[in-house]
Amino acid sequence: MANAPMVFFSVLAVYGAVIMGIAWWSYRQTHTEADFLVAGRSIGAVVGGATLAATQLSSGTVVGTIGFHYMSGVSWAWIWPGMWMGWIVAAVWVAPKLRAFGGVTVPDYIAARYDSEVARVISAVLIVVAYTVYLSAQYTAGGIIFQALFRWPFFAGVFIVAVMTLGYTWLGGMRSSVYTDFAQALVMVLAFCVAVPLLLYRVGGFDVMGRLLTGLDLRLTGWYFSLGEITVFALAFALSAATAPYQIARIYAMRDVATVRLAIGIAFVFQAVIGSVALIAGLGMRALFPVLPTPDLASSILALQVLPPLAGSLLLAGALSAIMSTCDSIMIISAAGVSHDLYGKLIRPAASEAEKLRINRWSVLVVGLIPLALTFIDMGLMQEIVVDYAKIIASFFFVPVLFGLNWRGGTTAGAIASMLGGFTAFMTWWWQGPNYPWGIDPIFAGVFSSLILFVGVSRFTRPVPRAALAPFFEAPD
């Protein structure tokens, strides 16, 4: 791929022009805070499904998942049933009530359901903290790609990804994010569907690939991870997918409940296609290149040394698409926590729409720039960071969201104890890893602590007023 830079920059220029065109159109359509944060609730099922899939398929998929399949073989694919179970939970027990409620942010739901501005603040702060770390992981993936392709300094790639994503997110907010996600999902599918057949041809087909992998390590075509490890990974993705704040923000942006359910089905299709080809890509690269400095380089080496220039450039564009589609989602949900939930609800409730819109845009810049500092810290393999993020979100958010929507008994004190207790338990266990106390993974410590505190504290504290329950439950007979 000797002429890779020229071809890649040509593809990137076309891709960037499309993205910025969408951003400028979105900017012209954005006049209020609701336009910026939930796209005026105008998103249909096809675009909605694509954005749900693209948001979930982050650098953890294009860089991390391919890398984990390179490292561990077939068994990592068992995390997908966990992810899909999470989507089913969201479609049946979470999304309908949240969309019918019609909030703007997840802390809006927390504040309304538990009749507490304190609970709103706690949830907003925890979201910003968790997503700051996750956003730095997305930037890191961009740095890896540009470093592998051009031998540029790592931070140059980080800076390019940050600036590109900040640019279109600042302009158009959620509408820009959703429609660019749609374009990015199409790019990802196209890139993989071109790259994988070419990779298989280079390897010699599935039979040859299987023999090569078996010769390297029997675990690559069998079980690399234990059943317990796979269960933990799948559970982390299931619980986070069911109640992830950046997914809920997209649910708010859709037209109605029927649209949300159809969009989740469409997201299944996107994920199934991309997950399958990511598996083949990781296995094929291990067969061709048995020893790489780090598994996270597998996707970049595939683009650089295996594929023709145009196909390789498409794959790299797909990788950047996956990264940016998650970056923009994180920026909006984190910025909303600062601008809508803290500034708009507590500091300046009487702010005009113009002021709210301005604060939202400044918040995007702030929450988008802070994580740059974390990219200098080596936090491990990309997929490991994604798994840890999924675990921490599940630890403090799964119980108060899912149980709060489906159990009348949850109280204000129970929700606050659940969020703080789940977060604290997770961090306490996580800091003592990898030798966790009593062999309990942090996700179990976090989720079970959150659940016990939610139920236990709710049983002995004052119930929330009936008016707070009314948007989420039918009136009792």
388-430 confidence digits (pLDDT tens): 878 898 999 999 999 999 999 999 999 999 999 999 999 999 8
Q: Report if residue 425 sits inside a domain.
A: no
pLDDT at residue 103 above 50?
Answer: yes
CATH number of the domain that 127 lies in?
1.20.1730.10
Q: Report if residue 441 sits inside a domain.
A: no
The reported pLDDT for the residue numbered 365 is 92
Q: Report if residue 143 sits inside a domain.
A: yes
The better pLDDT of the pair 220, 321 is held by: 220
33-58 confidence digits (pLDDT tens): 999 999 999 999 999 998 888 777 65
Q: Report if residue 134 sits inside a domain.
A: yes
Number of C-alpha atoms within 13 angstroms, CB side, residue 111? 18
Please state the separation of Cα 17 from the chain's center in Å: 24
The reported pLDDT for the residue numbered 435 is 80
The reported pLDDT for the residue numbered 65 is 83
| Averaged pLDDT of the chain | 88
Report CA Rg, the chain: 22
Q: Report if residue 414 sits inside a domain.
A: no
pLDDT at residue 451 above 90?
Answer: yes
Q: Report if residue 166 sits inside a domain.
A: yes
Backbone angles phi, psi at 320, to 5 degrees: -65, -35
Domain containing residue 264:
4-376
The reported pLDDT for the residue numbered 3 is 58
Q: Report if residue 250 sits inside a domain.
A: yes
- Average pLDDT, integer, range 280-308: 90
- HEC profile of the chain: CCCHHHHHHHHHHHHHHHHHHHHHHHHHHCCCHHHHHHHHHCECHHHHHHHHHHHHCCHHHHHHHHHHHHHHHHHHHHHHHHHHHHHHHHHHHHHHHHHHHCCCCHHHHHHHHCCCHHHHHHHHHHHHHHHHHHHHHHHHHHHHHHHHHHCCCHHHHHHHHHHHHHHHHHHHHHHHHHHHHHHHHHHHHHHHHHHHHHHHHHHCCHHHHHHHHHHHCHHHHCCCCCHHHHHHHHHHHHHHHHHCHHHHHHHHHECCHHHHHHHHHHHHHHHHHHHHHHHHHHHHHHHHCCCCCCHHHHHHHHHHHHCCHHHHHHHHHHHHHHHHHHHHHHHHHHHHHHHHHHHHHHHCCCCCHHHHHHHHHHHHHHHHHHHHHHHHCCCCCHHHHHHHHHHHHHHHHHHHHHHHHHCCCCCHHHHHHHHHHHHHHHHHHHHCCCCCHHHCCHHHHHHHHHHHHHHHHHHCCCCCCHHHHCCCCCCCC
pLDDT at residue 330 above 70?
Answer: yes
The reported pLDDT for the residue numbered 5 is 67
pTM of the model: 0.85
pLDDT band at 380 (very low <50, low <70, confident <90, very high): low
For the chain, what is the domain count? Answer: 1
Per mean pLDDT, which of 49-58, 91-100, 113-122 is the most reliable? Answer: 113-122
Per mean pLDDT, which of 168-177, 297-306, 317-326 is the most reliable? Answer: 168-177
74-86 confidence digits (pLDDT tens): 998 988 888 888 8
Q: Report if residue 429 sits inside a domain.
A: no
The reported pLDDT for the residue numbered 476 is 60
